[in-house]
Structure 1
Amino acid sequence: MTRRRDAALAGAMFVPVAAAAVLLRPPVTAEPVFVGVVGALALEIALSVRASSVRKLWERRGVRVASVALAIVGTALGVVAFGPTSLLVVAAGLSTYLLLLGVVELRSRRFGPE
């Protein structure tokens, strides 16, 4: 599992989500941003409990492709069901994940791999 690949996948998801948010102009409030940030952190904590199993599963190309496809479909369904504000949740979650990847990468470069 590489951070670079993970960042590329998250960035590939973030760009169209951010573009859709700009086009649809949902009202920016703290609640959806909070949900996105907390959701991303909670997911990372939950996945870290079984990190080796998750890492092994994530190495499969099909799992990565299915994850991106599911994220795209889920985001689109979220917009249909909850309105464009759901784009803020997804954008905040992806931003949090990208920031977390950056922090882990910088820590790794400074202090060496774990």
Structure 2
Amino acid sequence: MTRRRDAALAGAVLVPVAVAAALLRTPVTAEPAFVGVVGALALELALSMRASSARRLWERRGVRAASVALAIVGTALAVVVFGPASLLVVAAGLSTYLLLLAVVELQSRRSGPERRP
């Protein structure tokens, strides 16, 4: 599992979500952003409890592709059902995930090559 690949996959979802949010002029408010941030952190915490299982599953190319497709389609459906604030929830969650990846990568680089996974 590489952080660069994971960041690219997150970006593949974040870019169309951000474009849609801009086109729909989605207002930036605290509540949906908070839900996105907390949701991303909760998901990462839950996955870290079963890290080896999650890692094995995520290494499957089909799982990664399906996850990106599901995230885009799911976000579109959420916009239809819940409104454009759904775009902000997803964008905040993905931004949080990307920030988390960056922090982990920086820590890994600071600790030196002997401690990298």
Give the structure-1-normalised TM-score. Answer: 0.97
Determine the structure 2 residue equivalent to 1:4.
4
Determine the structure 2 residue equivalent to 1:14.
14
Determine the structure 1 residue equivalent to 2:89.
89
Unmatched 5+ stretches in structure 1: none
* CA root-mean-square deviation: 0.8
Matched, 1:98 2:98: yes
Structure 1 residue 30: Cα displacement: 0.3
CA distance in 2, matches of 1:23, 1:111: 42
Structure 1 residue 26: Cα displacement: 1.6
User: How many residues get paired?
Assistant: 114
Letter aligned with residue 70 of structure 1: L
Determine the structure 2 residue equivalent to 1:56.
56
CA distance in 1, matches of 2:19, 2:100: 22
CA distance in 1, matches of 2:57, 2:86: 28
Percent identity of equivalent pairs: 83
Letter aligned with residue 92 of structure 1: A
Structure 1 residue 11: Cα displacement: 0.6
Determine the structure 2 residue equivalent to 1:25.
25
CA distance in 1, matches of 2:74, 2:45: 21
Unmatched 5+ stretches in structure 2: none
CA distance in 2, matches of 1:28, 1:14: 15
CA distance in 1, matches of 2:75, 2:12: 14
Name the SS of the counterpart of 2:56 in structure 1. Answer: helix
Determine the structure 1 residue equivalent to 2:72.
72
Give the structure-2-normalised TM-score. Answer: 0.95
Moved over 6 A (4+): none
CA distance in 1, matches of 2:109, 2:26: 38
Determine the structure 2 residue equivalent to 1:34.
34
